[in-house]
């Protein structure tokens, strides 16, 4: 009996003495004693293994799985009750519903992998699931009556006709209806509806809040990553000036969210046939057995358009922070080439034109405005570089065919802004004066003329086309105004006369024409009664620029501070220019000078514009304290002070200026 009990319990592999000494126990073969105890002539005892089992506690994952099963059972019971007749006496209890008969419905926005990740992260699963259920119960903008199905079809057709030509990176096929787009790509549908409501600002403001909510629910809380989200973000960024607010903006936040999607979907690099495919290309390969080859090609082409669209948007938004733009890679060049060869849509050929112009602009910045080498260019090198870039621009311009109006306007502005960039280096010099060399004097004159040419072209664009142009064109318009304002501030020197430059620039005339253009665009739209729209804000900035320009021409002669500044204007301006090339004599007008300056727009026009511009409730826009805010140059001076052109220093942050038209510091 004793032998049987001992046989039922396995013995330990080490004796008690070796365990106590914490040494290795080697048993002599064929004997029940270890080598150490045999050498020491000690008794060797091998105890029995303690088979006492500890109570196993449920892990957090098991508890979450149990909770999910309980929720599934409750939902199954509720669905069974809703399907049964009302006079039925049978009721299903949560306990009676088998857990295996029901799984929580997975929508397009939350895939099974997301549910698994949420379950492993705790209560986040419950938040994701019930938020999605609440969203389904509320419905989208069509279900809630913001947009009727008929109007949705008209807005989608507007996007194809007047929006898509100037931003050909998100294509909606002609055969796809708004109902199909709403079902297959709800976020992209929402973004397109928003950008096409530029003539209904109150409704557009309501729907843009829906976009922000969807971004947070899908990307942050729902951990969703797909091509539809990227396309929706690109459309939203492409016309972000509709939603611009002087109190703050989210352009660079949304830009980085789009950048994260590009990286996580592996759209920024070419798939390697010898390596394991990743991202969206891997997803497409998995569906190859279930879908047609054409569908695969369509998805890949949409991914290529999306990554090229991100390159275009990032280069536009980073014009004043040139080091932050996405670098052009051979894979992007391959994407352009393949889209052009396939020629699935007429706008695919335009993609290559937009990207080539952006690439030329980036090459100019990298060559001429490279941080730390701006002052190292000799006149001969500068002239050769500018001539080479000008020839390349002429070649691109000669290859532009006759296109639709909106697309032609966008491409023409792209060419004109490159002409500005070629001569932009004239604003940076380490010489005693900006006109110390003939090459830089010529560059300044060319910069002035090219900036005026861009502004004059924008003023000739019809009003109905301006409101449909993308953020890129609007950004270039303001960029040219700021560059022109910087040029007229350059002090006089041998070979350069400031007064002559002011007359040739005619900043006041351009400002009045631009203000009238913006006002006419604003008056064609349905205004929002409780906030300032972007066109009203642009009018305010332009009026402040006119006041600023008038004060520059008529300083207060009675102010001793202003007299002191004028008496030594050239010396101080040149000294400041040498110490800080980016701040070209950006001295604000002394406060006392405001009393003697008349409104350059005229008293009657001032009263009329002030009455119209201040009609919204200013209490909701604390940044605009009073109408007097627009009767001085402080607004434009802050815009000018925040505007810099040089690339950022290493580890520099993102633009943080709050007063520039698009937040440029």
3-state secondary structure 642-657: HCCCCCCCCCCCCCCC
- Give the list of residues 6+ apart from residue 292 with CB closer than 8 angstroms, or none: none
pLDDT band at 2, cuts 50/70/90? very low
Q: How far apart are CA 326 and CA 260, in angstroms?
A: 12
506 torsion bin: left (phi>0), alpha (psi -120 to 50), beta (else): left
Q: What is the pLDDT of residue 33?
A: 87
Total Cβ atoms within 10 A of residue 447: 25
Q: Is 203 helix (H, G, I), strand (E, B) or coil?
A: helix
Q: Is the pLDDT of residue 6 over 60?
A: no
Q: How far apart are CA 635 and CA 41, in angstroms?
A: 98
The 10s digit of each residue's pLDDT in 325-334 is 788 888 888 8
The 10s digit of each residue's pLDDT in 531-590 is 567 788 888 888 888 888 887 776 544 444 444 434 444 433 433 434 443 333 333 333
Q: How far apart are CA 390 and CA 611, in angstroms?
A: 47
Q: Is the pLDDT of residue 239 over 60?
A: yes
Q: Report the pLDDT averaged over residues 440-454.
A: 89
Q: For the chain, give the percent of residues with pLDDT over 90.
A: 14
Instruction: Report yes or no on whether pTM surpasses 0.75.
Output: no
Residue with the bigger pLDDT between 578 and 346: it is: 346
Domain extents in the chain: 2-40, 139-335
Q: Is the pLDDT of residue 221 over 50?
A: yes
The 10s digit of each residue's pLDDT in 478-521 is 889 988 888 888 888 777 888 888 888 888 889 889 888 888 88
Q: Is the pLDDT of residue 192 over 90?
A: yes
Location of structure tokens 């040419």:
453
Residue with the bigger pLDDT between 310 and 430: it is: 310
Q: What is the pLDDT of residue 602?
A: 47
The 10s digit of each residue's pLDDT in 245-283 is 766 678 888 888 999 899 888 888 876 544 444 555 555
Buried (b) or exposed (e) across 348-376, using 16+ Cβ within 10 A? bebbbbbbbbbbbbbbbbebbbeeeebee
Number of H helices, E strands in the chain: 28, 0
Q: Is the pLDDT of residue 624 over 60?
A: no
Backbone angles phi, psi at 27, to 5 degrees: -80, 135
pLDDT band at 32, cuts 50/70/90? confident
Total Cβ atoms within 10 A of residue 3: 7
């Amino acid at each position: 009996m004793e032998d049987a009990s001992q046989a039922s319990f396995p013995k330990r592999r080490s004796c008690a003495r070796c365990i106590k000494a914490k040494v290795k126990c080697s048993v002599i073969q064929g004997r029940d004693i270890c080598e150490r105890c045999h050498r020491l002539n000690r008794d060797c005892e091998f105890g029995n293994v303690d088979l006492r089992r500890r109570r196993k506690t449920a892990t957090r994952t098991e508890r979450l799985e149990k909770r999910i099963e309980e929720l599934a059972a409750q939902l199954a019971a509720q669905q069974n009750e809703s399907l049964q007749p009302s006079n039925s006496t049978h009721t299903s209890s949560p306990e009676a519903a088998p857990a295996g008969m029901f799984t929580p419905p997975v929508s397009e926005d939350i895939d099974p992998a997301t549910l698994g990740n949420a379950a492993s992260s705790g209560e986040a699963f419950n938040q994701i699931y019930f938020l999605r259920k609440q969203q389904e119960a509320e419905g989208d903008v069509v279900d809630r009556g913001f947009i009727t199905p008929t109007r949705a079809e008209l807005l989608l057709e507007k996007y194809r006709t007047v929006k898509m030509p100037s931003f050909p990176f998100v294509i909606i096929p002609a055969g796809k209806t708004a109902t199909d787009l709403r079902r297959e790509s709800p976020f992209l549908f929402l973004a397109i509806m928003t950008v096409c409501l530029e003539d209904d600002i109150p409704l557009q403001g309501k729907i843009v809040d829906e976009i922000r909510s969807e971004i947070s629910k899908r990307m942050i809380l729902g951990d969703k990553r797909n091509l539809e989200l990227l396309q929706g973000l690109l459309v939203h960024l492409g016309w972000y000036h509709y939603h611009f607010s002087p109190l703050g903006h989210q352009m660079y936040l949304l830009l980085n969210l789009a950048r994260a999607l590009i990286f996580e979907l592996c759209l920024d690099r070419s798939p390697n046939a010898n390596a394991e495919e990743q991202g969206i290309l891997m997803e497409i390969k998995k569906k190859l057995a279930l879908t047609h080859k054409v569908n695969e090609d369509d998805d890949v082409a949409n991914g290529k358009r999306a990554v090229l669209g991100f390159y275009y948007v990032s280069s536009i938004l980073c014009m004043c922070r040139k080091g932050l733009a996405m670098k052009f890679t051979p894979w992007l060049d391959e994407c352009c080439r393949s889209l052009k060869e396939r020629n699935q849509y007429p706008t695919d050929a335009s993609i290559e034109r937009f990207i080539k112009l952006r690439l030329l602009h980036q090459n100019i910045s990298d060559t001429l405005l490279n941080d730390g080498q701006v002052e190292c260019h000799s006149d001969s090198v500068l002239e050769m570089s500018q001539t080479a870039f000008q020839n390349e621009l002429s070649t691109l311009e000669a290859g532009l065919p006759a296109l639709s109006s909106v697309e032609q306007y966008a491409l023409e502005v792209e060419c004109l802004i490159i002409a500005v960039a070629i001569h932009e280096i004239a604003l940076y010099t380490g010489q005693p004066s900006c006109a110390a060399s003939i090459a830089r004097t010529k560059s300044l004159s060319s910069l002035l003329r090219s900036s005026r040419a861009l502004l004059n072209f924008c003023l000739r664009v019809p009003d109905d086309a301006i409101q449909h142009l993308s953020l890129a064109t609007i950004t270039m318009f303001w960029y040219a105004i700021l560059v022109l304002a910087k040029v007229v501030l350059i002090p006089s020197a041998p070979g350069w006369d400031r007064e002559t430059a002011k007359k040739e620039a005619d900043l006041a005339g351009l400002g009045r024409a631009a203000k009238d253009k913006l006002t006419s665009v604003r008056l064609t739209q349905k205004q929002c009664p409780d906030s300032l729209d972007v066109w009203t804000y642009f009018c305010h900035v332009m009026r402040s620029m006119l006041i600023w320009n008038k004060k520059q021409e008529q300083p207060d002669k009675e102010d001793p501070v202003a007299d002191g500044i004028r008496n030594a204007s050239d010396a101080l301006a040149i000294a400041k220019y040498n110490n800080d090339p980016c701040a070209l004599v950006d001295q604000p007008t002394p406060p006392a000078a405001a009393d003697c300056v008349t409104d350059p727009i005229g008293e009657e026009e001032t009263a009329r514009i002030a009455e119209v511009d201040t009609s919204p409730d200013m209490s909701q826009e604390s940044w605009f304290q009073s109408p007097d805010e627009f009767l001085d140059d402080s607004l434009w001076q802050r815009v000018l002070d925040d505007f810099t052109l040089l690339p950022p220093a290493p580890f520099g942050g993102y633009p943080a200026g709050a007063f520039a038209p698009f937040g440029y510091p």
